[in-house]
Each structure stands twice: as C-alpha cells, then as structure tokens.
A and B are shown apart, each in its own frame.
Chain A
C-alpha cells in the first residue's frame, strides 16, 4: 500500500478538482463500456481503468496556453483541458457532431485554436517530435508555452520515441513527456520488452532529467508534473516522468487479458487511485459523504445529458467523405502565427549572426541573435574559427532571451521516490 499522502501544495478546491476529474474520467469510460455493449461504439474502446490519476494529475499541471497531445488512455487529460464529454462520446460513436465529424474515432481529435490539443495517431511515439516542434516553435514566437504528451511502456521502444526525445533534448525544448508504464503492451509484459528496471533511465542517455512517480497517487503525480512543467518553462526541459501503474483491463474491450497473472491484478486492484484518494480526502475532512454525493450527482446529470446528445446525433452524410483532404487557403484556414515577441528580433539585420558552430554565450542563455539557440556542450571547441571581431559583434547583439537560461550540461537524472 502506498504511504499516506503528505500535505499537498494545493487548495481544497484544487484537491476536489482532481477528485472530480478522476471520477468523471472513470464515469465517462463506464458510460462508454455500456454503449459498447449496446453496439453503439463503432470501433474499438480502450480503457484507462486504474490509470486515471496519471491523465488527470499531469494535465492539471498545465496552463491554458500550454499544449498537449493525448494517447488513447488519456481521456482524463482531455477532460481536464476542457473537452466536454459529448466530444468523447460522439467520437467513439462516429457521429457527425464529433470533433472529427466521424472521420476518426477514440481520442483522435484535437483543437489548434482554443484548447491547444494535438490529435494522436495510432502509430506510437510520433507525437513526441511533433510536441517538441510545438515547444520550440512556441519559444521562437515568444509564447512561453510548455508542451506535454504521453507514451506507454510499449511505445517507448519505437524509433521515433528516441529520435524525438533526443531532438527535444538537443533543442532544450520546453517539453514534458509522461511515460505511463502500465506494465503491459497488449499481451507482452514490460520485462519482456525492455530489459531495464526503470524506464525513466532511458532519459539519461539523452541528458534529459527524469522523475519516477507512483502513478496511482494523484497528488504525487500532480506535484511531480507541476514541478516538471515549471522547470521546462524556465528552460530546463525536456523532462521525462515515468509513472508506474497497471493496465486493469485488456488492450481494448475485446481482450479479456487472461495473460495477466491473477496476483498482479489483485495487487493493483487494491491500489485503485480513486479509492485511495477518496480515503485520503475523507480522512483529511476535505470531503464528506454529502460532498461526495453532490459530485456524483453532478457527474451523472452531466453525462446523462452528454450521452443523450451523442445518441441523438446523426451519422455523417456520405458526401462528407470528399471534404477536407486539402486546405483550400484563407477561406479554409487563415494561418497566422501569434507573435508574443517583436518579429524584428528574428528578421535581418537583427537576426544576422557570424557563421560559427558554437553559439557564443549559449550556456548563459545568450544566443548571438538573442533568444535561445541550439545547445552545444561546453567542452567542445568550435569547429570553425571565429572571424576576428566576432566577440564584439556578438556582444552588441545579445538580447535578453525569451526564457530563463538553459543549463549547458544536462543534470543527471533526479528522481522522485517510486512508492511501490
């Protein structure tokens, strides 16, 4: 059993928010399980039963301006970011009213303009370089954003996981990667996929700071994620958090997961993140039976309404199949970046630099043209000789960087204690 929760740095309302979203996450999925059994879910249904603390606790650490890209077991993260449950129901039911109008299912949808959510695809790991790209793009625009995505223990063996993490590290991207280790990649246990004790160790190879956290302890997850998000925002990213947990259902609804040893299942069922958290809230008198009932009623009323909306929504008309392969221009999307720094800083003559390999003063967060620049490691000499007078020019051009200075050499992985 986990240690008792220490006093968390959260207000009562925030603590109750975490509880609400975990309960909502579970009830949304329970509702969908019923819909699935009624043959109302068109495709597959994936469960995050027992993993709600990770989705909710990590997403709760983000600000509105920040970006996230969920995986299939991160419905809780979508709810926290502000996605209404109806969007999740209609997506799964392939309805015309869904965010993708029925063109894709599950959590495969996003919102570039308002909620800052990137849609996942089924190929694992591809979101990592994409979110790293948003992180450095946001820095370029002066937006001070942090990006976050999730990956499973299984997905951490894809090539693009490693390419993406290394790229993010080489760019010091303000990016947080949550490695959700639920111990099973479909039917293959983590020990048969990855011959190391802690998946967080993968971060070490890239000079990326990492933490390990008990994924069934929502306060621990939130606290760690919050720390990581703030560190990333101040230029210490990217950061990897391994959240240890367990996948209580099969890969998807069709899979009874009989390959999971009974004792493992029983062990984790006793560590249900919602039950544990509820006990904590009751013990600390942050929640009572009446408050709990109110939350339950609120969720039931909301989900009844949302489910009804989804069930009454039409399927997309067949003509829709032709629409939207290409953006047709300004009538379709007016694409304009949101500059939060003067674009003159990145336009000649201010952007101009000397063509040397090292970036003068980068270790102190000073790139030649102002702002952040690609990392170089301090003990490596410049490959090209600097022309005479460069230092002087550089000195003149130095501008306050949009973020706090990045450290030159990555810190060794600092870990939180895994409570198992």
Chain B
C-alpha cells in the first residue's frame, strides 16, 4: 500500500462509510461538484449522487440545522464547514439545539460536523481557528482532533457510526504534509481514547493535532540531552481520556501540555485542574503550558511564527520542567 495523506484518509473514511451505509449523507458548501474547498469530498458526488452529496447556500446554521433534522430520521449526516472558523456562525444551532437534545428530550443526533482548522498556513485571523474549546465546554458533544492519517480515518468512521453529535477537527497544516501507510479495508479508532506516541520516563508531554508532531520533534531533541519525554496524543478532547493522562503523569511526575489553541481557557488549564484534583501528590513540578498567544491569529508570517508554539519553545519549556 502506498502511503496516504491525511486528506486522503478523510476522503476514504467518508467514501467507505457512504458506500457501506445509505443513511450516511454529506452536506455543506461546495462539497459536491467542486469536491470541497480542500478536495476532501472529491469524487463523492459522482459516486453517490445529488441526494447524498448536498451543496448548500452559504448558511452554516442551515447546514447544521438541516443535518440535525436529517439525523432525527435516523440518517447519519456529515456536515462540512468549509473552514472550521465558520462553525461559530452555527454556534447556537450546535450548542443549544444539537448538543442538548438527547439530555432534554431523548433525541439522539447522530451527526458529524467536520472541517479544516488550525494555523501555520498563513490563513489569517479568519481561516486559522482552533475553536475546539468553545465546544469542549458543551456537554452533549464529542470533540475529536486527530494528528495522523490512520487516526483521522479511524476516528472519522467511529464518529459517523456514533449516536452522538461529533465535532471532527482536521488540522489543515497536516492535510498534505503528513503521509502514512494505513491498512486497506475497514477499521475504526475508538473515540475518547488517547494513545502513547513515544514512551518516556522523565516527563509527560500531552498534545494533539499539528502540535503532536511539534511535540515529537521536541522529544527527539530532548532525548539527545538525556531527557526522555513520554508523548501522548489526546486525539479526543471530549470526552477526555483522563485515565491515560493520570497513568502517564503518575509515572513521570511531570506534565507539559502543548496546544495550538490560545492559552486562556485552553485544554491545558483543564488538565492542570484534573491533575491538581487527582494526582497532586504525584507531581514533582508545576504543570507547564506551551500554547499560542492570547491574540487573534495574525496574518504576516513573522507574526504568525511568533504567535504559534514550535519545537524550540516546547524544548525550552521541557528543559525547565525537567529541572524540578
């Protein structure tokens, strides 16, 4: 098998799920004839037809609302946000309608909302967002943010088959940069499970999505200095795999969280609270964070570079933490 890109893995997941189950439909802006702004749905219209690959007006609330309505009939719609930045246009529909239905009136909404997210590609303030934490704060949703083609395919398939609304963030920096051989045929990756990407004993490095690769790069550099970082890919942010986090931190006694989301209100703060509550006695040092700055995502490459975390920043923070 030739290695596939992150993008191709996502396309394969949708293609295979639609082929296997006629209740799976795709709805979004330019997902049909054009095959999606990033070509993630290329070829789906030709294969599955107009009724299953639905081009819509530029109306994110309508896309989410209609997908929710279809899900009430037992269909399993995939709603695409052309850029995930635009998901906030449908914020009310997602957080008040889709997320609360099962709890309030026993109405499951088996749907996936997916789209390209993240910075590092000079997309500017409205095409680079990491809005995951708006939704991690919303009970009733599941939030997935993969870092590898294998996981992207397996998690998306699991998301489509899940009975709950699943938000699936696709870091666009990874779309064509990351390739990997993935198994032919059907497989899934369970939602809510983190994975150890690199074993280590001196400190735990928690990350996800594009920053996963940055963290692994930093871990390699740290290893050269004798610091063995255990790198964990969270993969799903809601529900968070607390067990995997606690298990690693109880071993290494130190924790560094790296995320591309901005600092205040990022998942690192939540993880810090969990560790304080459940592993305080195990900690030999403070939880440190390497995150984007608390600003909008700036456009100029010099500014965006200053805004984003990178391997050097992770390396420096890890060195500081290792001193404890």
Contact = CB atoms under 8 A, between A and B. Distances in A.
Pairing of A with B = yes
Interface of A: 99-100, 103-104, 108-110, 112, 118-119, 121-123, 126, 128-138, 140-141, 143, 147, 159-160, 163-164, 166-167, 170-171, 324-329, 332-333, 335-339, 343, 346-348, 351-357, 359, 367-369, 371-374, 383-384
Nearest to B163: A327
A372 B51 contact: yes
Contacts of B65: 126, 128-130, 132-133, 160, 163-164, 167
A356 B33 contact: yes
Contacts of B264: none
A137 B163 contact: no
23 contacts: A108-B104, A109-B105, A118-B107, A119-B101, A132-B69, A133-B70, A133-B77, A136-B54, A136-B69, A137-B72, A137-B75, A140-B75, A166-B57, A167-B62, A170-B56, A328-B163, A339-B22, A346-B52, A348-B47, A355-B45, A369-B49, A369-B50, A372-B51
B167 interface: no
A123 B65 CA distance: 13
A355 B50 contact: no
B215 to A, nearest CB: 29
A326 B49 contact: no
A326 B102 CA distance: 6
Contacts of B163: 327-329, 332-333, 335
Interface in B161-176: 163-164
B50 A141 contact: no
B48 interface: yes
Given A130-B68, A140-B25, A324-B102, 9 more contacts: A118-B69, A126-B61, A326-B164, A351-B48, A351-B52, A352-B48, A352-B49, A356-B33, A372-B51
Interface stretch (B89-97, B144-152, B177-185, B223-231): B89-97
Which of A108, A112, A354 has the most chain B CB within a 10 Å cutoff? A112
Nearest to A143: B73
B116 interface: no
Contact of A129 (B25, B50, B64, B107): B64
A65 B303 CA distance: 57
Given A132-B69, A140-B51, A373-B50, A103 B104 contact: yes
Nearest to B54: A374
A374 B55 contact: yes
B69 A354 contact: no
A318 B19 CA distance: 45
Nearest to B142: A326
Nearest to A333: B108
Contact of B61 (A119, A122, A160): A160
A335 B70 contact: no
Given A129-B93, A133-B66, A163-B59, A346 B51 contact: yes
Contacts of A147: 69
